[in-house]
Amino acid sequence: MIVEERNKAAVFISVSLAGMVALFLVREPLERREVDSAWILLAGMVLLLLYAFGCSCLAKSKGHSSAIVLTAVFGLLPPLIILLLLPDVNRHLSKPRRPRRPSPTKTAHPGHAVPQRTGEEKPVTARY
């Protein structure tokens, strides 16, 4: 997973979802004060764009096409659910894997024992 894109996605998705919840909660009091509904609609559209951009960043961070965001036609949650369930194609970018060292008790080949250290050899150290 590409960390920069993942962090960007987390910020945009969380801010947009929190904004949508807040807008839903204050919508009725704003309408009672006779605030023009165009402002509410504009705020909702901006929050939807932020949400779509956040989902696009999440798709990029996992190595998928950002066209998955088009599933938002079916509702707000399908793109996010699909992206969370899809595997991470960029898994190799997430964290470096350490090489495995063979165990001294295991056999190298069936029937052949691994030679034991006598203490005179220098230990092999991995260089990165």
**Within-domain flag for 68:** yes
Answer left, alpha or beta for residue 85, where phi above 0 means left and psi between -120 and 50 means alpha: alpha
**Within-domain flag for 109:** no
Percent helix, strand and coil across the chain, each rounded to 5?
60, 0, 40
**Within-domain flag for 60:** yes
**Within-domain flag for 59:** yes
**Within-domain flag for 9:** yes
What domain range is 74 assigned to? Answer: 3-93
6-46: pLDDT as tens digits = 899 999 999 999 999 999 888 887 777 777 778 888 999 99
66-103: pLDDT as tens digits = 888 888 888 888 888 888 888 888 777 656 556 666 66
**Within-domain flag for 64:** yes
**Backbone phi, psi, residue 32, to 5°:** -65, -30
**Within-domain flag for 99:** no
Max mean pLDDT among 48-57, 70-79, 108-117 falls in 48-57
Which of 88, 54, 86, 85 has the alpha carbon at shortest distance from 69?
54
**Within-domain flag for 102:** no
* Distance separating alpha carbons of residues 54 and 80, to the nearest angstrom: 9
Residue type, 64: H
Q: How many domains does the chain have?
A: 1
